[in-house]
Amino acid sequence: MRRGFKSQAERMAAETRARLGCNADESISLARLASDLQVELIPADNLISRDRLEDLKRIQDDAFSAATFRLNDGRRIVVFNPLHSSGRTRSNQAHELAHIILQHSVRTIEQIGGLTFLTCDIEQEEEADWFAGCLLLPRELLFREAKKGRTSADIARIHETSEAMAKYRLNASGVLIQLGRIKANKGAK
């Protein structure tokens, strides 16, 4: 990721959440965010048969999470996999909305299982991952939850994300290190 991006993303996420009226301790409404961005969130089984999605899942479980499309009429849609858990679905949707907010350009078109997907470059994927995490689990929220002793599973359940996202944010944001230092300093006194 480019230098300074993580701090910038934390600020942008806080501004976005505040603009949508989302308190620091509550889950962001991705439907409200999508509406604000004039983006439609559409489950893939509205476009193709659920059987095809289940076949793809059997072939390669993680082959399709979500993708963003710009239609000929200018509309943008995020198509997501409805077979995933609700927490994973929210993480996938937030990732795609992050690409839109960050104004990432579409890089390649790939065919998987007869379906077409648009992807971005690795740096853009990392940025979208980080920014999605900031939207779903801002550092302030993570710190407060971890201070209460909540695990990544607790945080994921309470704030409607995947446990993988909660673990990633707890570790990558430095919250656990910060709490460890606070505890160590209290123990040293």
H or E element: which one contains 40? strand 39-43
Residue with tokens 């359940």: 157
C-alpha 97/C-alpha 134 separation (Å) is: 12
Q: What share of the chain is helix, strand, coil (3-state, %, to 5)?
A: 55, 15, 30
19 within domain boundaries: yes
24: confidence class by pLDDT, cuts 50, 70, 90 = confident
Q: What is the pLDDT of residue 69?
A: 85
Total of domains in the chain: 1
Q: Is the pLDDT of residue 189 over 70?
A: no
Cβ 117 vs Cβ 67: under 8 Å: yes
Domain that holds residue 65: 5-137
What residues contact 162, with CB distance under 8 A and at least 6 apart? 85, 87, 88, 90, 91, 156
Q: Among 30-39, 49-58, 155-164, which range has the highest average pLDDT?
A: 30-39
Task: Please give the share of the chain, as a percent, with pLDDT higher than 70.
Answer: 95
Q: Establish if 128 belongs to a structural domain.
A: yes
**Could you tell me if residue 90 is inside a domain?**
yes
What pLDDT is attached to residue 159? 93
C-alpha gyration radius of the chain? 18
Cα–Cα distances in angstroms (integers) from residue 126 to residues 22, 28, 104, 140, 144, in the given order: 24, 21, 12, 21, 25
What is the C-alpha to C-alpha distance for residues 186 and 45, in angstroms, rounded to an integer?
A: 53
Contact 62, 54 (CB under 8 A): no
Residue 32 belongs to some domain of the structure: yes
pLDDT score recorded for residue 136? 96
- With 90 as the cut, is the pLDDT of residue 29 above it? yes
Domain presence at residue 96: yes
Residue 174 maps to a domain? no
Backbone angles phi and psi of 109, in degrees to 5:
-115, 130
- pLDDT at residue 8, as a whole number: 94
The answer to whether residue 151 sits within a structural domain is: no
pTM of the model: 0.86
pLDDT value, residue 121: 79
Average pLDDT value for residue range 151-176: 92
Q: Which two tokens stand for residue 82?
A: 């409805």
Residue 86 counted as domain residue: yes
